[in-house]
Structure 1
Amino acid sequence: MNVNDTYTDQQLRDAFLEVQQRYEKTEEGGWHVWINCGDSQTAEGGAQQAYGKFALDNLGAARTGLEVGGYEFEPRSNRPPCPPAPVESSNVDMSQCSDSGSIKSPEMAEAFAALPPRENVELLQTMAPEHSDERSMVAAIYYVCAPELVGDDLKDFATELATALGKTSLADTVYSMSVHNFYGTDTLDKLRAQPFQQYNFDDSINPAALRPAWERLPG
């Protein structure tokens, strides 16, 4: 199961026990439960928050090594927050941003430059390779250093960037758009909107309304 916020140990345990209680009514056997970060229950690759298992019957006991009706649960120690925590303004050192890479898409750089200036936000690299699923379109990928932007703040920034990208000559060829946020050696967040053309990235829409367009990527 996935969670989209940082849970305490007790909240994670409560979520696990809720799964166990629900399965007791409808399922049989033994079950392993991983609790990860994710914006939806179908998201994959998020940071693991906890692990548990439970046995509902004799078969489940044999599969899990537990007694019938028993369970084990362990929240992961030193687990990353979900979503990652931003860097405090007082601690930001933009010299920690990676060296800028190549700007392989001038149109994407043009969209970034069209945004109002933001403190502590730097464009590192742009790429627009052929999309693996839609060969006639591209995967627009922004690499940025924005240590104060994670979670919803990064989603809102990504929406502003997508709106600007939608005004360039590249817009009609974009199948997906991603924003990868790095600070030093840390990956703070990775977001993707796909299919890009499905969403109405427009100046008239509040960026908060388009947060569901962005899925968090592993890594």
Structure 2
Amino acid sequence: MNVVETINFHGDDLLVVLEDGKPHVVLKRAFELIGLDADRQIANVQERHWACTAVTAVQLPGETQRRNVVVADIRTFLMHLATIPLSRVAEHVRPKLADYQREVADVIEAHFTGNREKVFQPTTVTWTELAALIRQRYGIPLEVVDITRALRDGGVLMQDCCKPKKAYRQWFWFTGSAWTIHPHVLPELTRKLVDTRRSLGDIQSQLQLDLALDEQLRREIGGKGGAS
């Protein structure tokens, strides 16, 4: 039986277990704390081809019997949260969902290392995972090569590689061998991607990216005007 760890995050008691030595989030409890429909979100997570989930027997705090719960590793949990637009959840849920999208991975990792003052490498997504998120969240079927080309044309990436320019460095994280992307910048990055492809006269993009998508991105970015 796996031992449940309780991790405090912005006043919530998040439940996490170790599966194969890696932290996994108890999904039902986490989604309920955020204010989302837990059963619906669990079903959505389990449909993702990139998701890493499991069913494990645990004894939850305050209970005397074991029960089977669905858990997901940190990357899966964070990637799924990144697919949920803030504009599509209740207004009172948005601040908490945004907090989870930005910070929860670092807090969980800090808990299990035993050194909470250390700066940890955040959980980020690869370019392939980014393409999947853009497709699932906005319905834009672009390959990695299309995304990186547009971001180079838009001045986000340097011309000869996937290294970000200084003005956009906060969107990315260097792992030591490659540049990865912070999931919480997905709306801003997609807005930049959309604007660049349109400015270059990409007819296919103009057909795909209609006014409804523009409005959705504007709401998610919070009226910055460009950058369940």
**Range class of TM-score, shorter chain:** 0.3 to 0.5
Q: Which protein is richer in strand relative to its size?
A: 1
Q: Which has the larger radius of gyration?
A: 1
TM-score between the two structures when normalised by the length of structure 2: 0.32
